[in-house]
Structure formats: C-alpha cells, structure tokens
Amino acid sequence: MIVIPAVDLRDGRCVQLVGGEYDKESVRLENPPEVAREWVREGFSRLHVVDLDAATGRGRNDDIIRDIIRDSGVPVQVGGGVRDEARIEELLLDGASWVVVGTRAVEDASWLSEMAYQFPGQLIVAADVRERKVVTRGWTETLPLDVVSFVEDLGALPLAGVLVTAVHMEGQMQGTDLSLMEDVADASAWPVFASGGVTTIEDLRALEHRGVHGAVLGMALYTGAIEPRRLLEEFGA
C-alpha cells in the first residue's frame, strides 16, 4: 500500500478540516511548501495537494501549488476546483504528476471521457462520499448517485486511479469506512486510494487487506496519531 500525506490549502495556509465542514479547522499551518518538504524529509515519496479555496469557489492558491511541485522533489497529485481542460493542462505543465478531478468528472460523464483519453494515465477521479452518496462542489451538494455504481462505470476509461474520500469520517479520528472502501475496491478497474478517517496503523492494514491500493493521510499525521517512521517501516511510501 502507498501512503500519501495530504497538504490541503486554504487562504494560503495548510489546514485540516473536520467532517467535511469548510469552517471547521483543527489544523492551520503557515507555510505549506515547508510542510510539504518536511513530509518528504520524513521519507514520503508522493504528496496529495488540494486547493480547498478553488474547490469551493473562494479563490486559488496557484503560487503555493507551484512552489510545492517545484521544491518537494517527489511526484505530486493536485486537485481542487479542476473543472476544465485548461486547468488540467496548466497543472501538468507546472509539473503535477497527476491531476485529481472531482465535481465536473462526476457531473459530466462526456467531459470526463474526453479528458481521460486526452490525458491517459494522468487523471485521478475523486469521489467524495457521505453515507455512500457522492457529494460535489466542495462537499456542499449531495447527488442521488451511489459511489459503487459510479466507480463501476469508470472501468473503460484510461485513468490513473480513483480517490474515494469518506467525508463523513474526515478529520474525526474515528477510523475509516471500511465496508465502503472494500466495496469500492471490488468495483473499481483502477487503483483505489482511500481518504477520510484513517487514524491508526491498524486502519491501514485493514484497508490493504480489502484491496485498497493507497491511502491519503491527513489528521493522523498532523496530530501525531501515526508516527511517520513506524508507518513508513511497514508500508513504505
């Protein structure tokens, strides 16, 4: 299993949110590029960057994202508010290894298909989920769309993977939604990355046992609930 630190951006800071609520921060750090570099120094070999402001229409953190990509020295996957071809191209030109597409990918199947074939192996589709229903637009809208059915329908596209975030578990340090992740992993033709609620090494072992390819970690790393050295000894990066 791959373990990937999350660097979530809001107002030029690195933050962690609780329960998918934009105004409920539990972590706020002043220098996101330095945070990213510290995770690399710890031994992680991949980063997950999300522009929360872009995802919710509150602005963008482009300069910070470019700094992270340039300075981290490891592959970076970037998402948050990516809703057109120009933004995908911009992020890839800036050096992102993968671009994470969420809201439009969920809402516009023809656009997703076009983009997937235009950028084969470079897109990760993000399905943010609350109680198995897909949520979009920065977790503010719930669609009548079951995540397992959605993931099954992605099988023909040349994707790099599928990222499923259990928003209802996000930042709460209560473990992840194992049954959800198992069902998604069974349904997906592509590597599945799990996010939301991962709190312990045991959570990661359980995800790996259920066929999950990787996990994006936030609160557990930022609070010290999981010690990076021990984590990397077992799972690598």
| Per-residue pLDDT tens digits for 114-157 | 999 999 999 999 999 988 899 887 667 888 899 999 999 999 99
- Provide the greatest CA pair distance for the chain: 43
Q: Is 71 a catalytic residue?
A: no
- Our CA angle for 215, 221, 223, nearest 5°, is 145
> For the whole prediction, is pTM greater than 0.75?
yes
Residue in 8, 51, 53, 183 annotated catalytic: 8
- Domain 2-235, CATH class in plain words: alpha beta
Instruction: Go through the chain and tell me how many residues it has.
Output: 237
Q: What pLDDT does residue 28 have?
A: 84
Q: What pLDDT does residue 25 have?
A: 63
Q: How far apart are CA 152 and CA 39, in angstroms?
A: 33
Stated as kind and residue range, the H or E segment containing 24 is strand 21-29
Q: What pLDDT does residue 169 have?
A: 74
Residue ranges per domain, the chain?
2-235
SS3 assignment, position 65: helix
Q: Please, what are the averages of pLDDT over each run of 10 residues along the chain (237 residues)?
A: 95 79 72 97 96 91 98 96 97 98 94 98 95 81 91 96 86 78 97 93 96 94 92 84
Q: Is 8 a catalytic residue?
A: yes
Separation in Å, CA 172 to CA 132, 139, 141: 17, 16, 21
The amino acid that residue 31 corresponds to is N
SS3 assignment, position 122: coil
| Burial of residue 175 (number of CB atoms within 10 Å: 0-12, 13-18, 19+) | middle
Q: How far apart are CA 54 and CA 118, in angstroms?
A: 23
Residue in 51, 53, 128, 183 annotated catalytic: 128
Q: What pLDDT does residue 26 have?
A: 67
According to DSSP, residue 27 is labeled E
Q: How far apart are CA 79 and CA 81, in angstroms?
A: 7
Stated as kind and residue range, the H or E segment containing 98 is strand 98-101
Q: Which residue has the tokens 């609620």?
A: 197
